[in-house]
Amino acid sequence: MKKTGFIFDLDGVIVDTAKYHYLAWRKLANALGFEFTEEQNEQFKGVSRKRCLEILLNIGGIQATKEQFNSWLVEKNEDYLSLIENMDESEILPDVQKVLSFLKNHNMPIALGSASKNARPILEKVKLMDYFDVVVDGTHVTKAKPDPEVFLIAAEQLGVHPEDCVVFEDAVAGIEAANNAGMLSIGIGEAKVLSKANFVFANFTEIDVKFINRLME
């Protein structure tokens, strides 16, 4: 397939931060007087902080002024930051490093393509920054996944044509963004949820180096 650029989403692919995002959103929902379930949290994967708050307030049937909206955004992020404060390498998902090392050893360009504005500090906390040639995060994009912007910027910065890139994603919106960018999409999660992906694996322990080799040949 001769793939020469490899782009990774962060939350739910490299680290399981989805649980911390969930806890922080649930805390806000509870403070506003309603429940927020893990199932509802599925819709938040790959979605910007601002859009998540809009969905949350919609679930709770709450109207907010601009000031309230902005202060709840800050509150959620502060809670999230305190939850991830002590995060370390032990929170890297299984075999992520195996795949990153394999690609690095073969001199493949590697990018991060995440909607999170907290991506850089998280990569630093889990000590994976050195694997990435390029980091494109929520501070660089104007259009959210499923818009392909984040991945197209990553490809451009890597100097690789979009059609020569592979994207690893756990969110439905992320798989759609990769497909919209004309890239090969690899879903990490459940096949029935990520049905639009070109390939799906439950996690990186299921991806052997032979598969990665085939992508590069």
Residue found by looking up tokens 């601009």 in the block:
66
Binding-site size for ligand G6P (CB under 6 A) equals: 18
Q: Is 49 in the site for ligand G6P (CB under 6 A)?
A: yes
Q: Is 9 a catalytic residue?
A: yes
Q: Is 130 a catalytic residue?
A: no
Contacts of 70 (CB under 8 A, 6+ apart): none
Span near ligand G6P by CB under 6 A; candidates 29-37, 38-46, 87-95, 160-168: 38-46
Q: Is 138 in the site for ligand G6P (CB under 6 A)?
A: yes
Contacts of 111 (CB under 8 A, 6+ apart): 5, 6, 7, 8, 132, 133, 134, 135, 136, 154, 155, 157, 158
Q: Is 47 in the site for ligand G6P (CB under 6 A)?
A: yes
Mapping DSSP to helix (H, G, I), strand (E, B) and coil, where does residue 29 land?
Answer: helix
Q: Is 176 in the site for ligand G6P (CB under 6 A)?
A: no
Report how far Cα 19 is from the mean position of its chain's Cα atoms.
13
Alpha-carbon gap, residue 132 to 60, rounded angstroms = 39
Q: Is 20 in the site for ligand G6P (CB under 6 A)?
A: no
Which partner from the list Mg ion, ligand G6P, none does 178 bind, CB cut-off 5 to 8 Å by kind? Answer: none
Question: What are the phi and psi torsion angles at 184 (to 5°)?
Answer: -80, 125
Q: Is 11 in the site for Mg ion (CB under 5 A)?
A: yes
Which partner from the list ligand G6P, Mg ion, none does 116 bind, CB cut-off 5 to 8 Å by kind? Answer: ligand G6P
Task: Write down the least CB distance from residue 12 to Mg ion, Å.
Answer: 4
Alpha-carbon gap, residue 74 to 72, rounded angstroms = 5
The answer to whether 170 touches 19, Cβ cutoff 8 Å, is no
Span near Mg ion by CB under 5 A; candidates 91-99, 143-151, 162-170, 184-192: 162-170
Task: Indicate which residues carry an active-site annotation.
Answer: 9, 11
Residues that bind ligand G6P (CB under 6 A): 11-12, 21, 44-49, 52, 77, 114-118, 138, 171
